[in-house]
Amino acid sequence: MLPTGRTFYKMSGSGNDFVMVDAMREPPGPLAESRVIQEVCARATGVGADGIVFLEPASRGSGAAYRMTYLNSDGSRADLCGNASLCSARLATELGVASSAEFRVETDAGILGARILPTGPEVDLRPVTDVRRTLPFRLVQGEQWMGYAVAGVPHLVVRVDDVATVPVVERGRPLRHEASLPGGANVNFVSRDAAGGWRIRTYERGVEGETLACGTGSVATAILLREAGEVEDRVALATRSGRTLTVRLTKADGGWQPSLSGEARLVFEGRFGEI
């Protein structure tokens, strides 16, 4: 049974939206159940969100201010969500869970560094070492190359001529379920616009549709564009929502150390009722 009256926070990270729950003192309880998550995240009959995020006590000895647990709108658990990490950093600061300008966050993908800058939150993801510049998948008209990177979660990146014309769901769904990728992958499409900037669209695993933004997808895309020699170490990507995610890359042992910054907007605070 849903805990009627429990407080939640609706947040948006560049259009990637979440139901955030402070579980530092009270465990998630039934809110962590797959059926309940689906009902809460339903657009027409629930709060509506791409996923639900719990701020929980960190493991002893982790050195983290809190643990972030992320579940997709279908109830499946994901190791990491970049935009949820940004939103959790903002909320943890607002609630006093994180009391300093720089702190650590525990996730299923490991410990992340986080900081609150004058422009908003920034998180340091774990080093990305599993990067494949080419894949044996067939390209279709309008696609230039396809690569793969694990930025906390697996991502396919497809460099296209014009991301505005890509049928993201129709093309993304079969790639997301590609049999040679264990567990499947998120699928990102990226292209330059007329002004020379970069635009990205994402088919997200667990949501099973296009989302307005994807933080880890932007990180994976920036890395593959960097390895292709198309960008430098700082990449700004305009998302489907029109908001921009920025990725900073530093060369690390055997891979890349990425930092992600972007919007983390507190839309409203509410209480669960009849869902």
User: What does CATH list as the number for 7-126+263-271?
Assistant: 3.10.310.10
CA–CA distance, 125 with 111 (Å, rounded to integer): 8
Residues 6+ apart with CB under 8 A from 81: 16, 51, 53, 70, 153, 215, 216
CATH topology of domain 131-257: Diaminopimelate Epimerase; Chain A, domain 1 (3.10.310)
Per annotation, catalytic residue among 64, 157, 214, 238: 214
DSSP summary character for residue 163: G
Identity of the amino acid at 231: V
Q: What is the pLDDT of residue 58?
A: 97
Per annotation, catalytic residue among 24, 37, 78, 81: 81
Q: What is the pLDDT of residue 182?
A: 78
The residue-averaged pLDDT of 32-56 equals 96
Is 41 known to be catalytic? Answer: no
Token representation of residue 260: 């992600």
Is 87 known to be catalytic? Answer: no
Two domains, one topology: 7-126+263-271 and 131-257: yes
The rounded percent of the chain whose pLDDT value lies above 90 is: 91
260 to each of 79, 122, 126, 180, 245, how far by Cα in Å?
16, 6, 11, 29, 7
Dihedral sign of CA atoms 256, 191, 177, 141 in order: negative
Token representation of residue 207: 């949501």
Residue 2 has pLDDT above 70, yes or no: no
Specify the length of the chain in residues: 275
Residue 157 has pLDDT above 90, yes or no: yes
Domain ranges of the chain: 7-126+263-271, 131-257
Dihedral sign of CA atoms 148, 149, 150, 153 in order: negative
